[in-house]
Amino acid sequence: MLNLVALILLFPLIGSAMNGLFGRRLRKESIGYIACGAIGLSFFISVLVFIGLLLLPPEERIFEKHLFSWIQSGSFNAAVGFQVDPLSSLMILIVTGVGFLIHIYSMGYMHDDKGYHRYFSYLNLFTFSMLLLVLSNNFLLMFVGWEAVGLCSYLLIGFWFEKKSASDAAKKAFVVNRVGDFGFALGIMLIFLTFHSIDFTEVFNAASHGEFAIGNITITLITLLLFMGAAGKSAQIPLYTWLPDAMEGPTPVSALIHAATMVTAGVYMIARCNVLYMLSPFTMTVVASIGATTALFAASIGLMQNDIKRVLAYSTISQLGYMFLACGVGAFTAGIFHLMTHAFFKALLFLGSGSVIHALSGEQDMRKMGGLKNHIPITYKTFLIGTVAIAGIPPFAGFFSKDEILLEAFVRGNVIYWSIGAFAAFLTAFYMFRLLFMTFHGESRVDPHVKEHLHESPRNMTIPLIILAGLSIIGGFWGLPGASALNHFLSPVFGGHGHNEMHGVEAGAHHGIGLPSLMMVVSTLIAIGGIWLAYQMYVKKQELPKKLAERFALPYRILYNKYYVDEIYDAIFVNPVKKISVQLWKKVDAMMIDGSVNGVARFVTGTSNIFRFLQTGYVRNYAFYIVVGCIFILILTTWLNK
């Protein structure tokens, strides 16, 4: 079984290498088949591994395979080794499964791009890196995957590098992620210093065996540093700004990397380190607060965006916030559950938006859409399912996972978390239906030229949409409240804590049997409220948004400009650093340091020039100096003898 795991990683790597090295000489079909075939095989093996795991009794569902020692120096030892357990097996299933669908979709979407082989090479490399991230059995190898997905993200955001905006966005994504990685790297070092190991098993064993009291300051520091990395990769406040810009990449990339898989790596990391996080209530509070704040903050920005992909990007940030909220209150299962359902419906929404963009020959501005539902019916229907799922209407996938997070936030956290989450859910329902109405309903605002070419996407694009729509409908049943198969499956990883049957529902029972059911009703009502409002504003009284914008000009402008965060960051960090650097170069380096170096040189030449005049070459001058010298010495000695 473990040897199979190596194959999961190997196929995408080979696919990437083949397309990267020889893609230029291959036909487009071959390129696509190689890439999809590689991921397809990986997916197939992942399913086998998953089934193999299910067949075992729960306590035996963990395997480790040590391949070789990677960096070893003194007692520092980082291995290349893999770990298969319920959590990682679930992750590889999502990564290869959703990844496979997106690869197929890409064959259609990218068909006319001249960088076709480059695209698939990167996409396979990304899948490899992401699998490495989730399969590694130690922190440093995880960090390798972590950075490698960052690299692929960089390459794919900047895929159309001729565009300045795209290459800017790629750079921004990498650099902002590096800020997070700075924390992650320090976290790993502190882990090594504290535990003398960076292996998951050893670290978590040591941590869970009571060597550290709850609230231990070192553990708090470690978890905060790791969370810094997570906040970078998963686009949480204050490091979220790269994700909206990342939409410069091709849309399937946004679906795969910036919605379904890579951005959830932070959630995965925290869930993986749940043992450590449970030891630090302070960090947990930080995680939950940042998660909740981000959920609300990003949702509010999503209200006013007009670019279809940007709305989805802010929505992703907001949904990731929910996942962190769940982790922060200790409901790791709920976080992972939402990660999974989100992978389905957000991938669906992105691919759907890609299909819209494809139909409109590249148009992304929703103000130039409208009334598309009859032109691209499959896209519309699947998109509708995705929208309903994210809005949280039962029995779609998003409902169960979001509802569970809200319930947990209420039971384990407090009313504030719950109300923030609930309000963000209301906003989510609103902006998603706003998007749906603006795009597919109402009058067509499509440019007449574009309108002539309106067409439904080819089959290799619509079939992934249909499959994902199916998953968005049924994906939630795996985590039905009270009878959650997912809870049961993940319990070996999350032990006593991420288990809501033990804490959540029990505590729920304490509040009265009806709490979970009551919560469900409330959640549903909130979602319906959001949808109703969107319907009022964007279908019935379409003049309303404009009026409101005029009435509340200031809040509108702030939201429309995304709270000016990018501008603030530029003013506080980017520009001062540039200015200081120029000063350092021109003033400190050139004038002060080099100036003094050259000053010494000038001084030496200058004084030598003076003394040079003494060396005239005339004997009479030298004789004169001798006489003067003698007299001087005579005077000096007589004066001294006195």
Partner 1 sequence: MNLPILTLITFLPIVGVILILSIDSRHKELIRVTSLLVSIVVFLISLPLYFIFDTNTYDMQFVEKLRWIPSFGISYHLGIDGISLFLVLLTTFITPITILASWHVERNVKEYMIAMLVLETGMVGVFVSLDVFLFYVFWELMLIPMYLIIGIWGGQRRIYAAVKFFIYTMAGSVFMLLAIIGLFFLNYRATGEYTFNLLEFYRMDISYAVQFWLFLAFFMAFAIKVPMFPLHTWLPDAHVEAPTAGSVILAGVLLKMGTYGFVRFCLPLFPEASHAFIPVISWMAIVGIIYGALVAMVQEDLKKLVAYSSVSHLGFVMMGIFAFNIQGIEGGITQMINHGLSTGALFLIVGMLYERRHTRLISDYGGLTKQIPVFATLFMIVTFSSIGLPGLNGFVGEFLILVGMFKSRILYASIATSGIILAAVYMLWMFQRVMFQNITHEENKTLKDVSKRELAVMIPILLVIFWIGIYPNAFLRKMDSSVKHLLEQVERKVLVTPNIQKQDNPDLHDNSIPKIDIVPEKETEW
Binding site for partner 1 (CB under 8 A): 68-76, 140, 143-144, 147-148, 151, 154, 158, 161-164, 167-168, 170-171, 174-175, 178-179, 181-182, 185-186, 189-190, 192-195, 211-212, 216-218, 221, 577-578, 580-582, 584-585, 588-589, 593-594, 597, 601
Which residues lie below 8 Å from residue 229, measured CB to CB, with a gap of 6+? 146, 180, 181, 183, 184, 185, 187, 266, 269
Which residues lie below 8 Å from residue 209, measured CB to CB, with a gap of 6+? none
In the bound complex, what is the minimum distance in angstroms from residue 26's beta carbon to partner 1? 15
In the bound complex, what is the minimum distance in angstroms from residue 199's beta carbon to partner 1? 15
- Whole-number Å distance between alpha carbons of 343 and 381: 18
- Whole-number Å distance between alpha carbons of 174 and 192: 26
305: which DSSP letter? -
Beta bridge partners, 80, equal 68
In the bound complex, what is the minimum distance in angstroms from residue 179's beta carbon to partner 1? 6
Report the 10 Å Cβ neighbour count for 72.
11
Q: Which helix (H) or strand (E) holds 560?
A: helix 553-560
Kindly report the CA angle at 195 between 265 and 488, in degrees rounded to 5?
Answer: 45
In the bound complex, what is the minimum distance in angstroms from residue 246's beta carbon to partner 1? 15
Token pair, residue 43, equals 């997916």
Nearer to partner 1, 541 or 578 (CB): 578
Nearer to partner 1, 148 or 502 (CB): 148
Q: What DSSP letter does each residue of 85-122 carry, written as one string?
A: -HHHHHHHHHHHHHHHHHHHHHHHHTTT-TTHHHHHHH
Token pair, residue 61, equals 């569902």
Nearer to partner 1, 189 or 507 (CB): 189
Report the 10 Å Cβ neighbour count for 320.
32
Nearer to partner 1, 239 or 259 (CB): 239
Contact 514, 417 (CB under 8 A): no
Q: Which of 352, 283, 343 is nearest to 319 (CA)?
A: 343
In the bound complex, what is the minimum distance in angstroms from residue 169's beta carbon to partner 1? 11
263: which DSSP letter? G
Please, how many CA atoms are within 13 Å of residue 34, restricted to the half-sphere of its CB? 27
Contact 340, 353 (CB under 8 A): no
In the bound complex, what is the minimum distance in angstroms from residue 263's beta carbon to partner 1? 19
Nearer to partner 1, 125 or 469 (CB): 125
Nearer to partner 1, 151 or 384 (CB): 151
In the bound complex, what is the minimum distance in angstroms from residue 183's beta carbon to partner 1? 9
Nearer to partner 1, 150 or 479 (CB): 150
Nearer to partner 1, 72 or 637 (CB): 72
Nearer to partner 1, 195 or 345 (CB): 195
In the bound complex, what is the minimum distance in angstroms from residue 249's beta carbon to partner 1? 14
Beta bridge partners, 136, equal 82
First to last CA, the chain: 105
In the bound complex, what is the minimum distance in angstroms from residue 582's beta carbon to partner 1? 5
Whether a cis peptide bond, with omega within 30° of 0, leads into 238 is yes
Nearer to partner 1, 193 or 415 (CB): 193
In the bound complex, what is the minimum distance in angstroms from residue 415's beta carbon to partner 1? 35
In the bound complex, what is the minimum distance in angstroms from residue 256's beta carbon to partner 1? 21
Chain Cα centroid distance, residue 167: 18
Nearer to partner 1, 122 or 538 (CB): 122
Kindly report the CA angle at 51 between 80 and 277, in degrees rounded to 5?
Answer: 55
